Amino acid sequence: MASPTSLLAFVLAAVGYVLYRSATKAKPPAPYPPGPKPVPLLGNVRDLTAKELWLVAARWAKEYGRITYLHVFGQGLVFLNTPEATFELLEKRGALYSDKPKLVMAGELCGCENMVAFTPYGDTSRRQRKLMQTALGPSSIKTYHPLLELESRPFLRRLLAAPGEYQEHIRRYAGGLTLLVVYGHQVKSNDDAFLKLAEECVSLLSNRIASGGGIWPVDIFPSLKHIPTWFPGAGFKRNAMVWKKKMEEFVDKPFEFVLEEMKRGTARASFVSMLMDSDPKSKDTAADAQHDFDVRWTANSMYSASIDTTITVISHFILAMVQHPDVLERAQAELDAVVGPNRLPTCDDREALPYCNAIFTECLRWGVPVPLNLPHRLMEDDIYEGMYIPKGSLVFGNIWAILRDEKLYPDPDAFRPERFLDAAVDEIAERRRDPRTYVFGFGRRRCPGANLVESSAWLLMVSMLATLDIGRAVDEKGNEVDPEVVFDNSVFRTPNRFKCSVRPRSEQALKVVMQEDSA
């Protein structure tokens, strides 16, 4: 065991390194952007909070303007608070701002370094993006519409059977749908082996590996990765060994399942089968291995990317319907006129449902699934409007502040779908106002899988509107109960489960939900 003296020496060495970096840092060519005043050595560590940091960042936006700068132990943190700042830096200057922070714990130690969310900008990320765009871009997403529609009716049945467990049902829907679309595997029960493996890995990633923003001490001081596993405080290394094995199992097993199904000729059309069929084996063994590796990891990334976003969006939709029965009633009238009472809505109905579309768009804006986006990493020093942003800074799109901007969205805290019924005066103004411009990421880090997430969440939403009445829960005395809304997730703005009432709209609606699918 290490002695107290050796531990003290390590701490002093770390502090000395930070002091040395500060003393030898060259004078910046321009002033840093404005931000909260740091304290010596620690920087702005006291200004950060693990819970709902976006609320603090929104106050900074009002105080400091387009851009806010902080640092923690010398690590720059930049918050872009307006559409203009995000467009200029994360899109127009995307070649500089498209890198990802190197997270030693999540990436190297836990084995997630090849997932899309953690891949540094370069050849690998470009190949991954190309694969996702090929299989899940706007021109390809219609291929999967029948699969989306196949999963909506079982979700409605589960929801009616146990309304209080709505978040678990959304998770099962999103998980089963993603396994079906990505691997061609249809989940038949909650005991499905792939579903259980996937849920375990997503839970590890969200609640353990990336908890609290995903920053571990080893990410600040990478030399910590070399300490032996028996050393005091090395529990993170012991955990990482277990977590890495589980994550790699989830990468490999569903992928190998698809390859076996393809050999038998029984594989469903899916993300993996489409990409493997489109790249027949060549004489270049290295190129074939690279393609298999890219497809394997890109497919796995799709599961983790879609689950929490879908749960967040649909949870906010349910909350909005509980709080705004007039919106629910108007949407149901539109669905009755367009779809009728004898079937569920399909993706082909979307263009004829403008008010339902406005509800979905407002759910994206009002709910803000990822309020601060995932950070980009600046690859070179940059100057923006006379302000110096140092290389290596972590750059956050302050999506919460933008989607709560009173100039873009009057009365921003209110849920008002009608704000999206009127078209903007021009294409540029429409893009600035559309929440999709922000909620799915920026520039070269914008998620191509957003098309799948949006299509599946939209279909789930209109299926619920068409067949269910959603309202306030009722207590034992028959009084309506307002939902208690609490946010505990540090990355996704997912409300904790709240009480609500979910029941069939009518006997006919129940018949539509309970009838057997033809597929």
| pLDDT average per 10 residues of sequence, the chain (519 residues) | 46 59 72 95 89 94 96 92 95 91 88 85 86 80 87 95 94 91 90 92 81 74 90 92 94 95 92 82 75 91 79 96 98 98 96 97 96 91 96 95 95 96 74 92 74 92 98 91 90 92 96 79
Q: Which two tokens stand for residue 158?
A: 């589960």
How much is the pLDDT for 214?
65
How much is the pLDDT for 519?
46
How much is the pLDDT for 153?
94
How much is the pLDDT for 288?
83
**Sign of the torsion angle spanned by Cα atoms 443, 445, 449, 454:** negative
**Sign of the torsion angle spanned by Cα atoms 88, 90, 92, 95:** positive
Q: How far apart are CA 82 and CA 61, in angstroms?
A: 8
Q: How far apart are CA 29 and CA 63, in angstroms?
A: 24
How much is the pLDDT for 240?
94
Of 200, 433, 399, nearest in space to 312 by CA: 399
Q: How far apart are CA 349 and CA 339, in angstroms?
A: 8
How much is the pLDDT for 410?
94
- Angle between helix axes 193-204 and 166-183 (nearest 10 degrees) is 110
Residues whose CB is less than 8 angstroms from the CB of residue 52 and which lie 6 or more positions away in sequence, other chains included? 487
Residue that is written with structure tokens 């909650």 in the block: 190
Q: Which two tokens stand for residue 438?
A: 């922000």
Distances (CA, A) of 470 to 60, 159, 167, 323, 388: 37, 11, 14, 10, 51
DSSP string covering 200-214: HHHHHIIIIISGGGS
Q: What three-state secondary structure class fits 397?
A: strand
- Angle between helix axes 145-161 and 507-514 (nearest 10 degrees) is 120
CB 376 within 8 A of CB 323: no
Residue that is written with structure tokens 């994206």 in the block: 364
Residues whose CB is less than 8 angstroms from the CB of residue 321 and which lie 6 or more positions away in sequence, other chains included? 327, 328, 465, 470, 471
CB 443 within 8 A of CB 98: yes
Residue that is written with structure tokens 């940059």 in the block: 382
Q: How far apart are CA 397 and CA 57, in angstroms?
A: 10
Percent helix / strand / coil, the chain, rounded to 5: 60, 10, 35
**Helices in 368-409 by DSSP H: which ranges?**
399-403
Burial class, 270, CB count within 10 angstroms (exposed 0-12 / middle 13-18 / buried 19+): buried
How much is the pLDDT for 4?
46
Q: Which neighbouring-strand residues pair with 51?
A: none
What are the structural domains, with CATH classification, of the chain? 4-514 (1.10.630.10)
Residues whose CB is less than 8 angstroms from the CB of residue 353 and which lie 6 or more positions away in sequence, other chains included? 334, 335, 338, 345, 462
Strand 382-384 vs strand 394-397: parallel, antiparallel, or unpaired? unpaired
How much is the pLDDT for 356?
98
